[in-house]
Each structure stands twice: as structure tokens, then as C-alpha cells.
A and B are shown apart, each in its own frame.
Chain A
């Protein structure tokens, strides 16, 4: 009984999320900002730039921290660690690191 109740709740949440997706649509990435981010990963997820990959992947779990918060060497270690945790690809890792270094 409890399991059924939980499944129903989960299903309702999923359906609501899908139904409201377009209504809650966010803005398209600003082209100028994207280009200034540089570091476009050619074969990365959906061809996103380093800035977009950084934003999309980090925001999935937590607030993003400004690129100036850590040194280049520290970002390399952090993104290496986060690659393992969030299962991003090597290309995405490199594009994100390149963006973080260039954004200071």
C-alpha cells in the first residue's frame, strides 16, 4: 500500500515536471556570452561551450562558484574530482577547465 502511494507520488511529480517544462523554459544561452567563454568542445554533450557545460553540470547539484574563486591549478583538481562525481566526459572536463582559466 505504502509502495503504491509512493509510486503514485513519484509518477505525479514526473508528469507535472514534463508538462510544465515548456512553461518554465529558461532563456537561450546568450550568444555573445557563449562565444566569450571560448573553449567550445567539438564533440561534447550537444556541442555546448565550456561556459555552458560548466553552468549546466554544476547547477545540476549546487550553486556555481565564480571562476575567480580558485586558481587555475585548483580548478584543475576540482574539475577532475567533479568529473568522477558527475560522470562528465574527458572532453567536457577539458572544455570546462579551459573556460574557467580564460574567464578570470
Chain B
């Protein structure tokens, strides 16, 4: 609205300047304008009106800088061999016009870019041994590009729980692009050592309704609070990528017999002065294929306790393959990740005051998943093109600790239907067999939408 107000003002200004210019010429032409001069000025005025009409139709250039450039660059081109007086007049009008238009647009749009993205999901789950339940969550992602090099991103997780609503801050990170191959990030971020949470965890991307045990809330960290450096670079015809970070790190569980020796990655505040160091390196030998290795080393024991020098190391290898196949008339995705952890030998509950010690052992865990998906994207029928078959094996186990050898293996078969590129309806059945316990087989129906 502000922009349109400027056009009449500019036209009036142009007319006034035209008259002033004609009067100025009076001093040199005995008080009269020749027919030739009159025609030239009339032609200039018509040209300017056309320009203004064109600007009205396009709504003006999108940004302040481009507005100024557009006017400056188009003015001389359309001027042609007009007289110097007309050229000066045009420049004055263009200059007078560009300032308020540019200022108006600038004040409307600003110089930063903000985008609300994210995803939402609704799910029904019926698991053996548990009551069936519906669940839902809304996961907004706030992206704020302050400059082309500076980005703030944050995700919330909002979900109903009990009689209220849970709101969790999933991540909040400020990133700065140092150059084409390196970026710095500070804040709360998805742990680079765990490729699943960085890339496949959102439910419109994850091809099955639940996430694989072992790599999700299992052996590897999901979220880290600290600083990271990351990027990618070409190596001849191939490419590599990297991400390294320092963070508060996990906390060593020592108080509970069932969890003693495991790492708690959900405690985001630090319990000692030691910082965890981790990262991942990936290699892409050909487009559509990536292999990676991730790790995190830390001292997770509480400061001032006998556990403060206990060292922990978690490692992970992963493989991601995406391939369009003419033979299979569709797309194949193969995702696999395997992780293992090692916590130094320690004596838990050394004086028996917690009721389960003394218990001395070296804690080890391992687990992972392999997932194969096929979607007939080259089929002739629309309905068939939108169907996707998914199969996953996932596993988590723990070496003998004196408390048994608990392990859990699951096989999941899923059928998806894609309503749009980022909206999916999923149905899956999971065969879940924990060691020494009744099965926890489950049926899932879920819909998820990314936006």
C-alpha cells in the first residue's frame, strides 16, 4: 500500500520538473518552446509513464538493493539519444522514485529470512502386554537466516501427555559458515556421531513408525550441548564430509542395578569438568552411496567420586544407499548402522549400600539396524507409485555384567502410502522379542507430514 502511494507523487514530481525544465529553457529561447523541444519532452514523459506502469504491474523489485540497481541500470538503456536536459530530468525522477520505493520495500521485508518448517504425526500403537494407545506430536522447526552465513535453527517437540502437554526443546543452534568447506555451530544440536538422529529421525523421513533401538536412545547420543565444526569437500571425483564436536557428554549410571555401567545421554548438563569429544567422517564414493564412522569419547563419571576417571568410548559405522533401478522399476533405500560402546572396568555399589554390590565389570553394549525399502516409482499406475514396502531388523544387546545378558531383537515389516512427497500413511507390524520376557509384538498405524 505504501508503495502505491509513491507513484502519484512521482508522476506529479515529474510533471513539475518538466515544467521547470521548460521554463529554464525559456531564458534561452525567447520565452517559447519549439515544436521539436515540445515533442522531445512529451516523448520523455510518455516513456516515464510507461516505466511507472511497468513497475506497478510487477509490484517492484523484491529487495532494496535490487530495486536501486534495477532503476539505475534500466534508466540509461531506455534513455536513447534524448537531450541532456531530458536525461537529467529522468535521473532526478528515477532517483526520487527509487528512494521511497526501496525504503518501503525494505521496511516491509527486512534483511533477515525466517521460515517455520517441521513435521507433525499421529499414531495408533497396540503392543502385546501394554494398553493400546493413540499418540500425536507437533515438531516445529524455526529457521532464521540472519545473514547468508549465519543461521539459527531450533526444534520443539510438543505432545500431549497425561492431563497436559509436554513441550521439549529438542535443539537450538547458531551456525556460521566459515567458507565453502567449513561451518561452526554452537548450542544444542543433533549429535553428529549418530547419523540416524541427524538425518532420518523425523517421522516423515523415518520409513517406519518407531525408531530402531540401539542407535536411538540406546548406545549412541542423540543430542549434544557444545560446539561443532563440520563440512564437506570434494576428493577428485568423490566426496567426503566430516563433523567434530566437544560437548558436555553423557553421565555414567551407577545407582541402579539394571542400568549400572550404561551411559545416560539425556542429561544435558555436565557432571564434571571433562568434556566429551566426538564426530563422524563420511565418504561418498559415488552419488547415492555413503559410508561413515562416528565416535564419542568421554569421562562420564561424577566429579569427586571413584568413577571420575572411568573412560567411555562409543563407536558407530553406517551405510546409506539410495538407488533408482530400471530393472526393479523403482527406488531402493538401504540404511544400516551398527554401534558399540565400551566403559572401563569399574566397581559399582562398592560398599553394598545400594543393595546390589559390590559389582565389578567392564560394561559393553552393541546394537544396530538394517533397513531396506522399495518404492515402485517407475510404475505406470499412480497408486502403485505411491506405495512403499519397508523391512527392518534392529537389535540391542549388553554383555554379561553379573545381572544377566539382556538383549532385544525386532523384525518389522511396513507398508507405506505417500499422499505427497512429505506426507505418508504408514502401517507396520513388529515382532519384538526381549530376552527372558514375553514377546512385545506391536501393530502400528501412523500418519506423518513434513512441511
Closest to B435 in A: A2
Set B115, B177, B336: member contacting A13, Cβ < 8 A? B336
Does A30 sit at the interface, judged by CB under 8 A? no
Complex CA distance for A52 and B286, rounded to whole angstroms: 13
Complex CA distance for A43 and B235, rounded to whole angstroms: 11
Instruction: Tell me the residues in window 1-39 of chain A with beta carbons closer than 8 Å to chain B beta carbons.
Output: 2-3, 5-7, 9-10, 13-14, 17, 21, 23-27
Complex CA distance for A1 and B181, rounded to whole angstroms: 41
Assess whether A25 is in contact with B325, with CB atoms less than 8 Å apart. yes
Assess whether B320 is in contact with A60, with CB atoms less than 8 Å apart. yes
> At the interface with chain A, which of B89-97, B239-247, B355-363?
B239-247
Complex CA distance for A45 and B418, rounded to whole angstroms: 30
Determine the chain B residues whose CB is within 8 A of the CB of A87 once the complex forms.
230-232, 241-243, 282
Assess whether B287 is in contact with A3, with CB atoms less than 8 Å apart. no
Does A86 sit at the interface, judged by CB under 8 A? yes
Does B348 sit at the interface, judged by CB under 8 A? no
Instruction: Tell me the residues in window 278-302 of chain B with beta carbons closer than 8 Å to chain A beta carbons.
Output: 282, 284, 287-288, 290
Report the count of interface residues on B (CB-CB < 8 A): 67
Does B407 sit at the interface, judged by CB under 8 A? yes
B contact patch SS: strand
Closest to B173 in A: A84
Task: Give min CB distance, B117 to chain A, whole Å.
Answer: 7
Assess whether A6 is in contact with B418, with CB atoms less than 8 Å apart. no
Complex CA distance for A3 and B405, rounded to whole angstroms: 13
Does B136 sit at the interface, judged by CB under 8 A? no
Closest to A87 in B: B241
Instruction: Tell me the residues in window 47-73 of chain A with beta carbons closer than 8 Å to chain B beta carbons.
Output: 48, 52, 56, 59-66, 73
Determine the chain A residues whose CB is within 8 A of the CB of B370 once the complex forms.
9-10, 13
> At the interface with chain A, which of B2-10, B120-128, B198-206?
B198-206
Closest to A10 in B: B338
Given A44-B234, A89-B232, A62 contacting B422 (CB threshold 8 A): yes
Assess whether A63 is in contact with B397, with CB atoms less than 8 Å apart. no
Complex CA distance for A87 and B292, rounded to whole angstroms: 13
Determine the chain A residues whose CB is within 8 A of the CB of B445 once the complex forms.
none
Task: Give min CB distance, A11 to chain B, whole Å.
Answer: 10
Does B81 sit at the interface, judged by CB under 8 A? no
Does A81 sit at the interface, judged by CB under 8 A? yes
Assess whether B290 is in contact with A60, with CB atoms less than 8 Å apart. yes
- Extra pairs beyond A13-B370, A46-B237, A65-B422 (11, CB < 8 Å): A6-B368, A9-B393, A10-B336, A48-B287, A65-B421, A66-B421, A76-B113, A80-B145, A81-B117, A86-B199, A89-B180
Determine the chain A residues whose CB is within 8 A of the CB of B199 once the complex forms.
60-61, 85-86
Set B145, B183, B185, B450: member contacting A77, Cβ < 8 A? B145
Determine the chain B residues whose CB is within 8 A of the CB of A5 once the complex forms.
395
Complex CA distance for A45 and B243, rounded to whole angstroms: 18
Complex CA distance for A49 and B251, rounded to whole angstroms: 46
Complex CA distance for A78 and B278, rounded to whole angstroms: 26
Task: Give min CB distance, A76 to chain B, whole Å.
Answer: 6
Complex CA distance for A56 and B323, rounded to whole angstroms: 10
Complex CA distance for A24 and B284, rounded to whole angstroms: 18
